[in-house]
């Protein structure tokens, strides 16, 4: 079962890394949406429930922000709703899923909440540059969480995502100037 979880994580990784190379905001979100869905499955299979829950929520968030004009997703209300859901997911990890509450676990489980909050703010903006910049907060947060949970595909994903973000910034944000 763990091998399958890691394989699903590796496929998810491919989607997430590729997402930062698209110029159009909508393309970035669609590609990232597939990655989030597969990472949710992978994390649940690994027993990393915060990661699983948050990636499932991330999938919903991607759908909302994909059509942000129609759903008025640039409203601060949406950002607040998602942050509340992230915090509730964090709490659920220690209550519903009975993760032992230690200082280490409290910090590790908080990191993906920070990462998704940054990405939610990035998605609420009108350009792919904001998504790439929010990835500079999100990826390191997730990287530490993934190392703690030995999620191999996710670890590789965040390392490569940081490289992909840097390349995307160089290609689309710096070279344009």
Asked if residue 177 has pLDDT above 80, the reply is no
Q: What is the pLDDT of residue 41?
A: 96
Give CA–CA dist 169/164, Å, rounded: 8
pTM: 0.84
Segment 158-174, tens digit of pLDDT:
899 899 889 888 888 88
φ/ψ (deg, to 5) at 72: 55, 45
Percent of the chain at pLDDT above 90? 54
Q: 168 is in which domain, residue-wise?
A: 2-174
Confidence of residue 106 (pLDDT cuts 50, 70, 90): very high
Half-sphere exposure of 159 (CA within 13 A, CB side): 9
DSSP character at residue 74: T
Residue with tokens 């905001």: 25
Q: Has residue 99 got a pLDDT over 70?
A: yes
- The predicted pLDDT at position 16 comes to 84
The number of residues making up the chain comes to 177
Which pLDDT tens digit goes with each residue over 125-145?
878 888 889 999 999 999 999
Average pLDDT over residues 93-109: 94
Q: Give residue 92's pLDDT.
A: 93
Provide the 3-class DSSP secondary structure of residue 45: helix
What distance in Å separates the CA atoms of residue 55 and residue 40, rounded to the nearest whole number? 5
In degrees, rounded to 5, the angle at the alpha carbon of residue 63 between the alpha carbons of residues 142 and 77 is 85
* Domains: count for the chain: 1
b/e for 48-60, b at 16 or more Cβ within 10 A? bbbbbbbbbbbbe
Mean of pLDDT values over 96-119:
94
pLDDT digits (tens, 9 = 90+) for 58-67: 899 888 888 8
**Separation CA 86–CA 170 (nearest Å):** 31
Quick one: pLDDT band at residue 176, thresholds 50, 70, 90? low
């Amino acid at each position: 079962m763990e091998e399958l979880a890691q394989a699903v994580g590796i496929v998810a990784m491919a989607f997430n890394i590729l997402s930062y190379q698209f110029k159009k905001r909508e393309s970035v979100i669609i590609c990232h949406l597939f990655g989030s869905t597969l990472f949710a499955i992978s994390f649940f299979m690994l027993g990393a429930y915060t990661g699983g829950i948050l990636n499932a929520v991330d999938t919903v968030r991607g759908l909302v922000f994909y059509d942000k004009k129609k759903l008025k997703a640039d409203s601060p209300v949406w950002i607040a709703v998602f942050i509340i859901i992230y915090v509730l997911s964090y709490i659920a990890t220690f209550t519903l899923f009975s993760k032992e509450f230690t200082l280490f676990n409290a910090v590790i489980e908080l990191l993906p909440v920070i990462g998704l909050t940054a990405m939610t703010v990035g998605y609420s903006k009108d350009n792919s540059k904001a998504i790439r910049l929010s990835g500079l907060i999100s990826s390191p947060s997730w990287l530490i969480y993934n190392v703690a949970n030995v999620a191999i595909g996710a670890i590789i994903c965040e390392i490569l995502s940081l490289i992909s973000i840097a390349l995307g910034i160089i290609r689309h944000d710096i070279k344009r100037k």
